[in-house]
């Protein structure tokens, strides 16, 4: 499964590069389009509160190991979608 959904490959297919900044909503929409299902993402604020860092992309599967929309998660809120998200190779 990791080879099918390699995080760095998914980021590049979304038109972004590690180290680049994008709006959280734009990045999330590109992820959904690339992966083919609604994923769960987690992020943290930087200390200044001016941008967010991506910490996790969670892809959900059914018992047959087919990708499904992650249950109970509807994506980032309308407020969070407008925040800049920096894609780091590792957390500072």
CA atoms within 13 A on the CB side of 37: 17
Residue 1 has pLDDT above 60, yes or no: no
CA atoms within 13 A on the CB side of 71: 2
User: Which residues are registered as beta bridge partners of 42?
Assistant: 56
Q: Which of residues 1 and 33 earns the better pLDDT score? A: 33
pTM metric for this prediction: 0.76
User: Which residues are registered as beta bridge partners of 41?
Assistant: 57
19-69 pLDDT tens trace: 788 888 888 888 888 888 999 988 888 888 778 888 888 899 999 999 999
């Amino acid at each position: 499964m990791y080879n099918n959904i390699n995080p760095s490959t998914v980021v590049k297919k979304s038109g972004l590069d590690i180290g680049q900044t994008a709006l959280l909503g734009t990045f999330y929409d590109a992820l959904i389009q690339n992966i083919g299902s609604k994923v769960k993402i987690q992020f943290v604020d930087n200390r200044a509160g001016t941008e967010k860092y991506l910490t996790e992309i969670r892809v959900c599967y059914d018992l047959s190991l087919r990708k499904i929309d992650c249950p109970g998660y509807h994506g980032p809120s309308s407020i969070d979608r407008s925040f800049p998200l920096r894609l780091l190779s590792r957390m500072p």
